[in-house]
């Protein structure tokens, strides 16, 4: 009996139906010589550190860096995993052949290889199903050309190395920075990919904050209701522009040159996942995770091809299928497709290029017409379908006119664009005039007349904050600002993360309170900024280019061009470098005390205390070293600035002379106060914080402490957290068994919530 392992139950059902397997069993479907079973995504994961050494349950610097000689695996604690795994293991052990039918990509390969390793089935004959669509014809074609599993060993090496590298760097960097610099704030999570992404956001925010606008002047004139700009784009001094203004006032402007150029603009390339996420964020404000979830659902419903792709091209063998796909889509896009000859479609190298396709081609419709989609699903499907139709349309033809004018030997220019033939642009509502675009009248060389010049005072502007669209672009090109599609394609090999993981990286940063979403903007939180400050000496951890280079090596490994041992040797060396750097006295001295709570400038030491380095520009933050009858030392200041209070209670003297035991603390306005160990909860708080004894308040998205970073989210795995439940967790440490949670895959589950070290965790006992 041949056993097929799919990644999800829905995919297993489709495969079973196509192969004629009809008999439903517990955890698999049987028939026609096949047993089709399934995982729930990642059933198997890497063991935690204490599985290697119980002493590693305690977070200390002593054992770091910790790097296992070989990695151990364990089952996920998600409900139902143990039972399904035992079914898979039993089927594998009795099989004559195993067929890997997990998603055709790095993570799909990892899911299968980890399950196979834990099932100990190395000697079983095994093959690989590799498909980019779940239509019946694609599944049949895939099974007609199954490949030996060993053909994908290089891909498996890259998958394992990605998993193990993230484990090594994440474990060692997170533990080391938490032990050294947490100051009671909980875990400081550091990751191979997430941290450089955070650094991009922090650096952009700081660049905007530190930006000082500079004045400059522009010289414009209006002739025949058309605006002309002086060819010296900017004047640094107002006098320079004013002198020219006086020179040309009341003098005639002469048209000296007219240049007309025609251009032909092809339709944009097809979607890969990142470009689809950018487009939906720009047009519909969809978060990247939402676009991915919708695209995955459309794929599993067989409406589109595999969405987790980083290619924007189709292989040449897809071309013959495009006409039939368009014919099927005519029922929902009659006007758009009727002008095309589907029997003789245009084939351009811009879109059909087998050398540009690796694992999967660009995202396109399969031709299956959706029967019922909700509004958001319709938006995503519409964009994918319209982009596909557009590649067969004629190019958009434009005429660009540049007119030069002279007045008293001073040169001015204006530009205008006219769309001659809309072509593919008609699919998007035709030629829309840009807000700065002018429709020019007919000019002739030598004509002249009066004009109306003026000097405009302008200011330089800071760069824009990141939104999801611009951050996805920056991740794709390792932090480089690139608009050109061809250059973007060249940089993809060195991007941060993969098309399939970028959305989850952004959400991870939000969940860990390193960044926040303010409408459409992504902004760094004080916690995120402080982490990047602490990591200042760890360039490889914060550099998009260097981390992107690692991703590039993983892609080369998939092609068999980089050896796994060489890559992991580099990772192990980097783990040692992280710890050595962190233990360096020079590095610790260079870190300083931290950032000002009012303006984020560095805090410095003065004669009698500490204060903001930006005091000359008006920042008022400062405090005396002698506070409440106790002395604040240099080593105390980072904890006070980052955690909002000192780590240990002291004997302190209140303003009335009363001695109390409490913590020297700092509020968000930078004012020091005593937080007594027996501090009472304020009237509007729901409870006392279990970490710092501050006030846990009912805020917009969470029940959060007003003095530290403790928070219980109001939505946990799709289930609403009530105030009474939050109080139970804070006061008792655990809830009763609760229903109504939903996994990322959409599966409902029940669990006990446990509050451990200030974090809410699931308990499935």
Q: Catalytic residue numbers? A: 306
Reference 296, options 321, 277, 318; nearest CA is 277
Burial class from Cβ neighbours inside 10 Å (0-12, 13-18, 19+) for residue 26 reads: exposed
d(CA 613, CA 330) in angstroms, rounded, equals 66
Reference 298, options 309, 286, 307; nearest CA is 307
Reference 133, options 294, 9, 299; nearest CA is 299
Q: At what angle do helices 288-300 and 375-390 cross, to 10 degrees?
A: 80
d(CA 24, CA 13) in angstroms, rounded, equals 10
d(CA 8, CA 75) in angstroms, rounded, equals 16
Q: Map residue 458 onto helix, strand or coil.
A: strand
Instruction: List Cα–Cα distances, 174 to 166, 439, 504, in angstroms.
Output: 11, 58, 19
Taking the C-alpha atoms of 269, 270, 275 and 281 in order, what is their torsion angle to the nearest 10 degrees?
Answer: 110
Contact in structure between 282 and 469 (CB atoms under 8 Å) = yes
Q: Map residue 197 onto helix, strand or coil.
A: helix
Q: What are phi and psi of 565, to 5 degrees?
A: -60, -40
d(CA 106, CA 104) in angstroms, rounded, equals 7
Contact in structure between 736 and 722 (CB atoms under 8 Å) = no
d(CA 711, CA 699) in angstroms, rounded, equals 10
Reference 597, options 525, 535, 519; nearest CA is 525
Helices (H), 412-525: 468-476, 485-491, 502-511
d(CA 200, CA 252) in angstroms, rounded, equals 51
Reference 563, options 46, 151, 105, 161; nearest CA is 161
Residue 421 corresponds to which tokens in the numbers above?
Answer: 């033939």
Q: Map residue 515 onto helix, strand or coil.
A: strand
Tokens 């909860």, residue located? 681
Reference 467, options 525, 502, 504, 518; nearest CA is 518
């Amino acid at each position: 009996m041949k056993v097929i392992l799919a990644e999800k139950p829905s995919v297993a059902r489709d495969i079973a139906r196509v192969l004629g397997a009809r008999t439903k069993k517990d955890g698999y479907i049987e028939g026609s010589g096949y047993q089709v079973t399934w995982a729930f995504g990642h059933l198997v994961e890497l063991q935690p550190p204490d599985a290697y050494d119980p002493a590693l349950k305690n977070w200390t610097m002593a054992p770091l860096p910790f790097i296992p000689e070989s990695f151990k695996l364990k089952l996920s604690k998600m409900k139902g995993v143990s039972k399904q795994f035992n079914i898979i293991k039993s089927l594998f052990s009795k099989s004559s052949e195993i067929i890997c039918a997990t998603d055709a990509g790095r993570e799909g390969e990892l899911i299968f290889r980890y399950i196979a390793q834990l099932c100990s089935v190395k000697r079983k004959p095994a093959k690989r199903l590799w498909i980019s669509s779940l239509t019946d014809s694609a599944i049949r074609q895939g099974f007609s050309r199954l490949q030996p599993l060993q053909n994908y060993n290089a891909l498996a090496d890259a998958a394992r190395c990605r998993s193990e590298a993230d484990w090594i760097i994440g474990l060692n960097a997170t533990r080391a920075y938490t032990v050294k610099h947490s100051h009671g704030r909980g875990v400081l999570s550091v990751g191979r990919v997430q941290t450089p992404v955070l650094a991009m956001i922090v650096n952009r925010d700081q660049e905007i904050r530190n930006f000082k606008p500079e004045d400059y002047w522009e010289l414009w004139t209006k002739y025949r209701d058309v605006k002309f700009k002086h060819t010296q784009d900017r004047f640094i001094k107002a006098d320079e522009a004013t002198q020219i203004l006086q020179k040309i006032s009341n003098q005639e402007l002469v048209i000296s040159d007219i240049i007309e150029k025609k251009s032909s603009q092809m339709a944009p390339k097809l979607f890969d996942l990142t470009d689809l996420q950018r487009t939906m964020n720009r047009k519909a404000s969809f978060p990247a995770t939402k676009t991915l979830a919708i695209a995955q659902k459309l794929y599993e419903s067989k409406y589109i091809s595999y969405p987790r792709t980083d290619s924007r091209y189709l292989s040449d063998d897809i071309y013959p299928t495009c006409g039939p796909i368009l014919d099927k889509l005519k029922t929902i896009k009659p006007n758009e497709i009727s002008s095309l000859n589907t029997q003789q479609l245009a084939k351009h190298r811009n879109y059909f290029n087998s050398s540009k396709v690796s694992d999967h081609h660009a995202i396109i419709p399969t031709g299956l017409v959706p029967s019922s989609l909700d509004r958001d699903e319709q938006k995503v499907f519409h964009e994918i379908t319209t982009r596909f139709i557009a590649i067969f349309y004629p190019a958009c033809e434009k005429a660009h006119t540049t007119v030069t004018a002279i007045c008293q030997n001073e040169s001015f220019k204006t530009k205008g664009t006219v769309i001659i033939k809309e072509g593919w642009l008609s699919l998007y509502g035709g030629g829309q005039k840009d807000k700065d675009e002018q429709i020019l009248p007919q000019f002739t060389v030598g004509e002249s007349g009066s004009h109306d010049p003026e000097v405009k005072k302008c200011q330089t502007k800071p760069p824009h904050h990141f939104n999801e669209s611009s951050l996805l672009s920056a991740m794709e090109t390792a932090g480089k600002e690139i608009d050109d599609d061809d250059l973007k394609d060249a940089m993809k090999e060195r991007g941060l993360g993969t098309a399939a993981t970028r959305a989850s990286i952004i959400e991870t940063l939000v969940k860990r309170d390193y960044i926040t979403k303010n409408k459409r903007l992504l902004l760094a939180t004080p916690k995120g900024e402080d982490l990047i400050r602490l990591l200042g000496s760890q360039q490889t951890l914060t550099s998009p280019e260097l981390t992107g280079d690692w991703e590039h090596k993983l892609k080369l490994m998939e092609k068999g061009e980089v050896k796994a041992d060489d890559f992991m040797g580099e990772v192990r060396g980097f783990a040692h470098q992280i710890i050595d750097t962190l233990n360096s006295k020079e590095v610790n001295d260079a870190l300083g005390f931290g950032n000002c709570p009012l303006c984020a400038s560095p805090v410095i030491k003065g004669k009698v205390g500490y204060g903001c380095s930006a005091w000359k520009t008006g920042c008022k933050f400062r405090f005396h070293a002698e506070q409440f009858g106790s002395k604040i030392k240099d080593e105390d200041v980072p904890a006070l600035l980052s955690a909002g209070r000192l780590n240990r209670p002291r004997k302190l003297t209140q303003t009335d002379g009363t001695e109390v035991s409490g913590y020297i603390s700092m509020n968000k306005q930078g004012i020091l106060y005593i937080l007594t160990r027996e501090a009472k909860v304020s009237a509007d708080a729901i409870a006392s914080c279990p970490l710092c004894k501050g006030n846990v308040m009912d805020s917009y998205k969470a029940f959060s402490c007003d003095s530290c970073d403790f928070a219980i989210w109001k939505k946990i795995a799709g289930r609403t957290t009530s105030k009474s439940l939050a109080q139970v967790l804070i006061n008792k440490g655990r809830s009763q068994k609760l229903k109504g949670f939903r996994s990322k895959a959409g599966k409902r589950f029940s669990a006990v919530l446990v509050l451990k070290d200030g974090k809410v965790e699931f308990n499935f006992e």
